[in-house]
Amino acid sequence: MMRIDEMPEVNVAIIDSEVAPTGVGEPPLPPVAPALTNAIFAATGERVRQLPIRLAGFT
C-alpha cells in the first residue's frame, strides 16, 4: 500500500450539476494502481500484471 507522500498527482474536478449527488471521494482511486504500475515499469522495465504489487528483489 502506498503512503500519501508516494501517491502520484491526481487532478479531480467537481462540476456543478442538476443531478442528485452520489459521492466525491471515489473518483481519485481508480487511477492510482495504473499510475503506480506505469511508474514501476518506467523505473525498472518490469511490467506489473497482478495485485498486490510485488517486485523481485524487494521484501
Residue 44 covered by a domain: yes
**Taking a C-beta distance cutoff of 8 angstroms, is the pair 26, 9 a contact?**
no
Measure the CA–CA gap between 43 and 45, rounded to whole angstroms.
6
Q: Per-residue pLDDT for the chain (59 aa), expressed as one digit of tens each?
A: 678 888 888 887 878 889 887 776 666 677 888 888 899 899 989 898 888 887 765 54
Residue 22 covered by a domain: no
pTM of the full structure: 0.48
Residue 23 covered by a domain: no
Quote the pLDDT of residue 42. 94
If one counts every other C-beta atom within 10 angstroms of the C-beta of residue 38, the result is: 13
Residue 18 covered by a domain: no
Domain limits at 44? 28-54
Specify the number of domains making up the chain.
1
Measure the CA–CA gap between 8 and 11, rounded to whole angstroms.
10
Quote the pLDDT of residue 52. 85
